[in-house]
Amino acid sequence: MSNPSAGMIPVSGIGYDVHRFIEGRPLILGGVEIPSPRGLDGHSDADVLCHAIADAILGAVGELDIGHHFPNTDPAYRGISSLELLRRVSEIVRNRGGRLLHIDSSLIAEAPKVGPHVPAMRQHLAEVLGLPLARIGIKATTNERMGFVGREEGIAALAVASVLVPDEVPSEM
């Protein structure tokens, strides 16, 4: 029996994103529309959680950030679902011979309360990334009323991605 992980090494990446609140937009987090009088400002659907996860995945495979791959100056990405951007990021990993293993993330927001929506977010992310539900972690916390998040001016997200990649010496070395 061959080992599907033979010749592979585990790597990890970290991602961070923030978006400010604006009136007149839906609030999308982890691909789920959250009931809120305000949404997040951004070129795409401004899903801060998906953006942090995308940056974590891209970082794990040595790629530049989400803004490089999907620039906010390109009209093709205006209003695009960030779940679609994540799907494209996971293709980058597969095209490099890698395999996504695990995502862990934190949403930082005073309001609205996102905890009740975490199961649906995990489900969307698991489907798009091709991971078992147990390998998607999402926590929700506040900023204890400090800073721009504490003043309810926006939402922040952090993420870590674990990826298996081929054990090759990079050509840049």
Please determine, for residue 2, whether its predicted confidence score (pLDDT) is greater than 80.
no
Q: Can you give the pTM of this predicted structure?
A: 0.94
Position 103 scores a pLDDT of: 98
The identity of residue 70, as a single letter, is F
Asked if the 9-166 domain carries CATH number 3.40.50.300, the reply is no
Burial track 28-40 (b if 16+ CB lie within 10 A, e otherwise): bbbbbebebebbb
Question: Please, which pLDDT band fits residue 12 given cuts at 50, 70 and 90?
Answer: very high
* Domain extent listing, the chain: 9-166
105-119: pLDDT as tens digits:
999 999 999 999 999
**Considering all CA atoms of the chain, what is the largest pairwise distance in Å, rounded to the nearest integer?**
57
Position 4 scores a pLDDT of: 65
For 119, the enclosing helix (H) or strand (E) is helix 118-129
Pair type for strands 136-141 and 99-108: parallel
40-92: pLDDT as tens digits:
999 999 999 999 999 999 999 999 999 999 999 999 999 999 999 999 999 99
Secondary structure class of 140 (helix, strand, coil): strand
Secondary structure class of 82 (helix, strand, coil): helix
Position 173 scores a pLDDT of: 44
Are the C-beta atoms of 140 and 30 separated by less than 8 Å?
no
3-state DSSP percent of the chain in helix, strand and coil, to 5: 30, 30, 35
- Per-residue tokens: 146: 């400090």
- Per-residue tokens: 76: 């093709």
Mean pLDDT of the chain: 94
Please determine, for residue 124, whether its predicted confidence score (pLDDT) is greater than 70.
yes
Please determine, for residue 37, whether its predicted confidence score (pLDDT) is greater than 50.
yes
